Amino acid sequence: MSHTPEALEKTAGLSPLMPEVYRLQRMRQETLDTFTVELAHASHATAASFRPGQFNMLYVFGVGEIPISISGDPANPNALVHTTRAVGVVTRAMRLLKRGDSIGVRGPFGAGWPVEESEGNDVVIVAGGIGLAPLRPALYQILAHRMKYGRVVLLYGTRSPDDILFQRDLERWRTRFDLEVIVTVDRAAGSWRGNVGVVTTLISRAPFDPRNAVALICGPEIMMRFTAQELRRRGVDSGRIYVSMERNMKCATGFCGHCQFGPQFICKDGPVFPYNRLEKWLNIREV
Ligand SMILES: Cc1cc2nc3c(=O)[nH]c(=O)nc-3n(C[C@H](O)[C@H](O)[C@H](O)COP(=O)(O)OP(=O)(O)OC[C@H]3O[C@@H](n4cnc5c(N)ncnc54)[C@H](O)[C@@H]3O)c2cc1C
Ligand code: FES
């Protein structure tokens, strides 16, 4: 079977294993190693709809295919948005794409954040580094229906001020009276006037009611583990704490077993899970 963009355009949409062709509309550098792409479908006016927390398999032609979460606004059907850190072969090749270049997209896949299920509750969003990317669609959706939620808090931690993503969004969000945004960095020099320390240090003083809060966490696995512990210490039930997991993926449809984590397939059962479903496995090394 041919996997050129032209051949795929003819067979697009026939199977979840068959990428559809999108074209790069825009690329924005977020930090030194992280960039956001806006993609448009090669032949449809709108992109596929998605739920916050879902991911796509992005195929850089001739290089490879990788899972990347959707980081755009679920209410905007015109562009498919992904934010990627260039760490290896495929992500670096993606960084070199130019406006108009083709990229294969399969998806969206997986279970997303419980955004609608959290209506009526306080919502605490805790992001570490690039973990803000999969959480941004959830925050967009919550803010679009702000009256349906209690207090909404975003706690965001990065290694340094230079690693902070979505600066324009953060500036806008900071001006809202109905959203508490607290940013911290692990280490800072020079002009940084904000918080210094890991993101877990923000939890004890964040303004939310633990008896009524749902927490959405995304970041490195160790950060998610310590964040969940802090939230539990404050009184948040572990069934109301959600994390988004990453594992190597191939099929993204529950067939190949590459993403198995304990009894779960991250691609199909996740990537978002209630913490109490994973806790036992997160405490075992090398699962
Ligand atoms: C459900 C899901 C959602 C994801 N969402 C995003 C997203 O929104 N944005 C994003 O940037 N990434 C995301 N990832 C991670 C992304 O899939 C990997 O970074 C990507 O597969 C790396 O491919 P590569 O070919 O560039 O790197 P490879 O050539 O495969 O790896 C090169 C080196 O980078 C290391 N590496 C691989 N992945 C990571 C990583 N995540 N962090 C640090 N080092 C790594 C490898 O261990 C290796 O040493 C997601 C993963 C999953 C499973
Ligand atoms: S990636 Fe194949 S089962 Fe999940």
Q: Which residue is listed with tokens 């977020």?
A: 30
At 167 the three-state DSSP class reads helix
At 144 the three-state DSSP class reads helix
Residue type for position 116 = E
Q: What is the pLDDT of residue 222?
A: 93
Q: Which residue has the higher pLDDT, 73 or 49?
A: 73
Residue nearest to atom 35 of ligand 1 (CA): 87
In short, whether 249's Cβ falls inside 6 Å of ligand 1 is yes
Task: Say if residue 1's pLDDT is above 50.
Answer: no
CA dihedral defined by 69, 73, 74, 79, rounded to 10 degrees? Answer: -80
Ligand nearest to the CA of 107: 1
Q: What is the pLDDT of residue 74?
A: 95
Task: Say if residue 239's pLDDT is above 50.
Answer: yes
What is the H or E stretch that residue 143 is in?
Answer: helix 132-144
Query: Shortest CA distance to 179 belongs to which of 123, 242, 113?
Result: 123
What is the H or E stretch that residue 55 is in?
Answer: strand 55-60
CA distance 192 to 83: 25
CA distance 70 to 80: 7
In short, whether 245's Cβ falls inside 6 Å of ligand 1 is no
Q: Select, from the ranges 2-11, 16-25, 145-154, 271-280, the one with the highest average predicted confidence (pLDDT).
A: 145-154
Query: In sequence order, what are the residues at sequence separation of 6 or more whose Cβ sits closer than 8 angstroms to the Cβ of residue 173?
Result: 139, 143, 154, 179, 181
Pocket lining for ligand 2, CB < 6 angstroms: 249-252, 254-259, 265, 267
Asked whether the beta carbons of 215 and 231 are under 8 A apart, the reply is yes
- Of the residues 65, 68, 267, which should be mutated to test ligand 2's pocket, given the most ligand atoms within 8 Å of the CB? 267
Residue 5 pLDDT level (bands cut at 50, 70, 90) = low
* 124-161 pLDDT, tens digit each: 999 999 999 999 999 999 999 999 999 999 999 999 99
Q: What is the pLDDT of residue 12?
A: 54
Buried b (16+ CB within 10 A) or exposed e, 190-215: eeeeeeeeebbebbeebebebeebbb
* 164-223 pLDDT, tens digit each: 999 999 999 999 999 999 999 999 877 888 899 999 999 999 999 999 999 999 999 999
10 Å Cβ neighbour count for 174?
13
CA distance 201 to 199: 5
Angle between helical axes of 221-234 and 275-282 (0-180°, round to 10): 120
What's the pTM? 0.92
DSSP letter (8 states) at residue 254: S
Task: Say if residue 13's pLDDT is above 60.
Answer: no
At 281 the three-state DSSP class reads helix
10 Å Cβ neighbour count for 156?
25
Beta strand ranges found along the chain (DSSP E) = 20-29, 34-41, 55-60, 64-69, 80-85, 102-109, 122-128, 152-158, 180-185, 195-196, 213-218, 241-244, 260-261, 264-265, 272-274
* 57-116 pLDDT, tens digit each: 999 999 999 999 999 999 988 889 999 999 999 999 999 999 999 999 999 999 999 999
